């Protein structure tokens, strides 16, 4: 029986890739955290998204309703760079579709910080465009 592929497009099964992080395991680096957050958006896991977002920059709430209406189609990690032991950056391109609109791409340059051995998403510089 084929194992379900991970939504983050790592090529690994979900059970061996993002699911352990969604279940509470700490991400070993910022890229893995970013991939698990992408998968959480694709699987509509608002609690995980909030838990992995730095408290200084995260929204007050995030609901299933906030995540509905967008289908995440593809993730490509462009680069992952450790700035130092507690800061990292990840650049990625995510392809998505909102309703019946054309496919669009979000290019994001994400900032991450490690606090108490856990990576957290801090913020981004992003740009969207339609295909």
Cβ atoms 15, 1 nearer than 8 A: no
Query: Tens of pLDDT along the chain (131 residues)?
Result: 568 999 999 999 999 999 999 999 999 999 999 999 999 999 999 999 999 999 999 999 999 888 998 999 999 999 999 999 999 999 999 999 988 888 999 999 999 999 999 999 999 865 554 44
The Cα–Cα gap between 114 and 120 comes to 6
Burial category of 94 from C-beta neighbours within 10 Å (exposed 0-12, middle 13-18, buried 19 and up):
buried
Class of domain 14-130: alpha beta
CB contact set of 42 (below 8 Å; sequence gap of 6+): 7, 8, 72
Laid out side by side, the sheet with 104-115 consists of 70-82, 87-98, 104-115, 118-130
What is the DSSP code string of 3-33?
PPBPTT-SSSBGGGTTHHHHTTPPPSSHHHH
């Amino acid at each position: 029986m084929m194992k379900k592929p991970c939504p983050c497009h790592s090529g690994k099964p979900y059970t061996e890739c993002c699911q352990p992080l969604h279940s509470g395991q700490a991400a070993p680096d910022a890229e893995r955290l970013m991939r698990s957050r992408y998968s959480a958006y694709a699987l509509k896991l608002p609690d995980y998204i909030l838990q992995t977002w730095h408290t200084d920059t995260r929204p007050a709430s995030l609901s299933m309703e906030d995540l509905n209406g967008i289908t995440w189609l593809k993730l490509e990690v462009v680069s992952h760079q450790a700035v130092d032991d507690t800061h990292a950056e990840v650049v990625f391109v995510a392809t998505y579709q909102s309703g019946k609109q054309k496919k669009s791409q979000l290019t994001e340059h994400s900032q991450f910080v490690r606090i108490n051995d856990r990576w957290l998403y801090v913020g981004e510089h992003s740009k969207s465009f339609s295909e």
